[in-house]
Homo-oligomer: A and B are copies of this chain.
């Protein structure tokens, strides 16, 4: 008799941005698999067990969770943000794809959440107000030349670009090089948003033009949003500038 496997997203970290549906899924599970800092966001009961692992060990974690669910436990796999965006839902699907046939019989429930780029966008206006893409800048799982080619094509297409995993101790130079690639395609005036820890007490949102964008402003908790040539800034006295991408196309990126 198989148990249930919930895959949930906590949202960006502000407790009131976690959906009631996700809270219900958490209440229904007894074993929790995830990266430690994400598990820390949950308020677990004494009968609920945490199994924390490093954020590089997604496939191992997915396999361990599936094995427990297949054995009958009600298991919850925890991501930050939304579990389907550069997070655990894909790892669990991959583990099912490659795993024993009984894992296909596990009752899988994915609850969507507020992913980082949406929380960052909400704090600054509407930079994702028109066509955009989301890319992981990590070259742990794909070659760097694929990433730079995607960046170039996305910029040529006039898409706003949201970058997840922009930088880490093991990947210190990639974001700077990504800015270089984009400077060859986009005007230097395009706004770049460094959205760190949106909605959390240590939130820091800064904006600078692509021509001056400094990769050192980003850390692992940052989602970087690079505007398109259509993206505009609105200055406000005594309030932060707004950044938005209009719903209508004016032709500057074509």
* Residues in chain A within 8 A of chain B (CB atoms): 11, 14-21, 24, 58, 82-87, 89-94, 96-97, 104-105, 108, 110-115, 118-119, 121-123, 125-136, 141-143, 146, 149-150, 153-154, 156-159, 232, 234-239, 242, 244-249, 254
Report chain B residues within 8 Å CB of A158: 146, 150
CA distance A121 to B156 in the complex (A): 27
The complex is assembled from copies of this chain, and their number is 2
Beta-carbon contact of A129 and B249 below 8 Å:
no
Beta-carbon contact of A130 and B18 below 8 Å:
no
CA distance A91 to B127 in the complex (A): 11
Report chain B residues within 8 Å CB of A143: 249
Report chain B residues within 8 Å CB of A235: 104
CA distance A222 to B110 in the complex (A): 19
Min CB distance A239 to B, Å, is: 7
CA distance A150 to B20 in the complex (A): 36
Report chain B residues within 8 Å CB of A84: 118, 121-122, 126-129
CA distance A129 to B95 in the complex (A): 13
Min CB distance A69 to B, Å, is: 14
